[in-house]
Amino acid sequence: MIVWLALYHDPDRHPGVSADELETLRAAQPPAMKSPPGAWRLLLRHRTVWGMMLGFFCSNFVFYFYATWFPSYLVTTHGFSLKDLGLIGMIPGLAAIPAAWLGGWSSDALHRHGWSLTAARKTCLVGGLVLSSVIALSAFVTQTWLCIALLSLSFGGIAFTGANIWSLPADIAPNADLVATLGGMQNSAANIAGIVIASFTGLMVSLTHGSFMIPLCATGAFGLLGALSYLFIVGSIAPLPLDTNTRQTTLTGS
């Protein structure tokens, strides 16, 4: 934060921006658009927004398994020591790093090569979430290397999806004034998943005397549900109309 405050300046105050450059920036800036009060309620009339919220919820359901119960699973089911967790256990996280970059690059590359924005975004969203569902298969394998491979594919799938999830608010917002609103709406729904899976997994492990079979299968199922949400509930990836006079858009995707 200290470094950011020291280095960041608005263009009109930045010492490295010349008067000509500032004029060019101002000329390229679109006119300010203000949304009516309560615009978030109008956004909820669109099924696409509900699809985004459900899809991100499902994505986070998978992600939060790694953020909460993943170490306990490796220790309890596969007999990992703390040393093993520090070495082998970091492989899925390392796999997610290039996957996150690749997800964003792939979507933009498809769009640059003539794919519609809808096809480019949905291909990566659906593909990543389908890949994340292989976490369920790890419940049925006993070999450590195969378990880690499946978990790495799953975590990589979630990371691959992430860049596209966060592209959607800017892609479908009726105007720039609502990009952050849409981001906040889908993120609020998504983080409910963090609460749900932490409690659900703990309860299931307790009831089944240490078995992760049900939580892993449920997590994989949510990955598939998220893919279906982006495929069928989210409509065309295009700016949504912000209609204050009719509820017609409730039944449409755009």
Q: Which helix (H) or strand (E) holds 216?
A: helix 213-228
Q: Which pLDDT score is estimated for 30? A: 67
Whether the predicted pLDDT of 186 surpasses 90:
yes
Task: Tell how far CA 70 is from the center of its chain.
Answer: 19
Fold of 41-251: Growth Hormone; Chain: A; (1.20.1250)
Q: Which of 48, 34, 39, 67 is nearest to 197 (CA)?
A: 67
Structure confidence at residue 253 as a pLDDT band (50, 70, 90): very low
Q: Which pLDDT score is estimated for 69? A: 94
Q: For the ranges 1-10, 54-63, 120-129, which has the lowest average pLDDT?
A: 1-10
CATH 1.20.1250.20 residue ranges of the chain are: 41-251
pLDDT tens, residue by residue, 13-50: 888 888 889 889 888 876 666 677 778 899 999 999 99
Q: Which pLDDT score is estimated for 33? A: 63
Count other C-beta atoms under 10 Å from residue 223's C-beta: 25
pLDDT, averaged across the chain = 91
Whether the predicted pLDDT of 246 surpasses 60:
no
Q: Which pLDDT score is estimated for 169? A: 96
Whether the predicted pLDDT of 160 surpasses 50:
yes
Q: What pTM value is reported for the model?
A: 0.84
d(C-alpha 86, C-alpha 65), whole Å: 18
What are the residues whose beta carbons fall under 8 Å from the beta carbon of 168, sequence distance 6 or more? Answer: 52, 121, 182, 186, 234, 237
Number of H-type helices and E-type strands within the chain: 11, 0
Cα distance between the two ends of the chain = 38
Query: What are the C-alpha distances in Å from 237 to residues 20, 67, 157, 177, 251?
Result: 36, 30, 21, 18, 15
